Amino acid sequence: MRPVIAALPDTLISQIAAGEVVERPASVVKEVLENAIDAGAQAIAIRLEEGGCQRISIQDDGFGIEHQQLHLAVLRHATSKIKSLSDLESVASLGFRGEALASIASVSRLSITTRTPEDDHAWQIQVNGGQTVGDVSPSSGNVGTTIDVQDLYFNTPARRKFLKSASTELGHCLDVVRRIALSRPDIGFAIWHNGKVIERWPSQSIAERVDAILGEEFKNHRIPIEVLQGQLSVRGFISQPTASRARTDMQFTYINGRYVRDKVIQHAIRAAYQDVLHGDRQPM
């Protein structure tokens, strides 16, 4: 018998998309942090429970979401960041696909609490497994947005099985936070795990942030670089060849503020060090 073609319901589309967007708790942390940064946050608090498997709550002091628009934030392909193909060519925000919150909402219990500077109180929306629960309702909270993600994959047990131990997932979450925090030293970050503060970086200079995150060895061997050539500018810190490593795990590269791990860039770094570093050693 010939199979019948039918359009999938929206929630199922999001759940399928979630397979790509939300690989593990760390992917939620990445998406929600990027949204906070796109909203102009100056301070971001990250609270994790059981490596993020049980709960990820991220609070920012950005410009918030108008309560009339709150239901759109969790809708697929709804974004405030681009409107046309030409916007896509010059996108300056970290996000633009309008898929992250819808995907996260489809595989968790998500609540968004948000307040704009014009609001006299906060508003909240709750979505469980892609289904909105009740109406957008008044809530309490400061200006900014708190995204609370509980019970990741509660409705997709097959994916839940692939979650590793809480400490492994926590490690991945912290990797994501470090990468992002290195790119924005002007933003303050604080991280809690199971109710305990585990990291706190105030708004600081790039050198201070790099030292706080990369530690003593890099601090003692770093060289600032700043090169301008035509439209291209390269800046940051590189290690003296005396402080090399076996792996590339201490290399953090960014293009226009976005963390990028790329073969061409890695090759350029290797090439730059080829006269001063043995072939099996990696600079920091």
Looking at the Cβ atoms of 35 and 114, the one nearer to Mg ion is 35
Cα distance between residue 55 and residue 50, in whole Å? 7
Choose from ligand ADP, Mg ion, none: what does 145 bind? Cβ within 5-8 Å by kind: ligand ADP
Show contacts with ligand ADP in window 26-45 (CB under 6 A): 31, 35-36, 39
Judged by CB under 6 A, the number of residues near ligand ADP is 21
- Angle, helices 206-214 vs 166-183, to 10°: value is 160
Tokens of 24: 């593990």
Cα distance between residue 251 and residue 233, in whole Å? 18
Q: How far is the CB of 63 from ligand ADP (least distance, A)?
A: 6
| 14 is an interface residue for ligand ADP by CB under 6 A | no
Q: How far is the CB of 65 from ligand ADP (least distance, A)?
A: 5
Query: How many CB atoms lie under 10 A from the CB of residue 284?
Result: 20
Sketch the per residue contact string, 70 through 109, with ligand ADP: x for CB under 6 A, - otherwise: ---x-----xxx-------------xxxxxxxx-------
Looking at the Cβ atoms of 58 and 212, the one nearer to ligand ADP is 58
Looking at the Cβ atoms of 23 and 50, the one nearer to ligand ADP is 23
Rounded to the nearest 10°, the torsion over CA 52, 56, 60, 62 is 110
Show contacts with Mg ion in window 96-125 (CB under 5 A): 100
Looking at the Cβ atoms of 71 and 164, the one nearer to ligand ADP is 71
Cα distance between residue 48 and residue 51, in whole Å? 6
Tokens of 108: 């968790």
Q: b vs e for 192-202, b when ≥16 Cβ sit within 10 Å of the residue's Cβ?
A: bbeeeeebebe
Q: List the one residue out of 38, 52, 66 whose CA is nearest residue 108.
A: 52
Which chain residues interact with Mg ion by CB under 5 A? 35, 95, 100
**For binding to ligand ADP (CB under 6 A), which residues are involved?**
31, 35-36, 39, 60, 62, 64-65, 73, 79-81, 95-102, 145
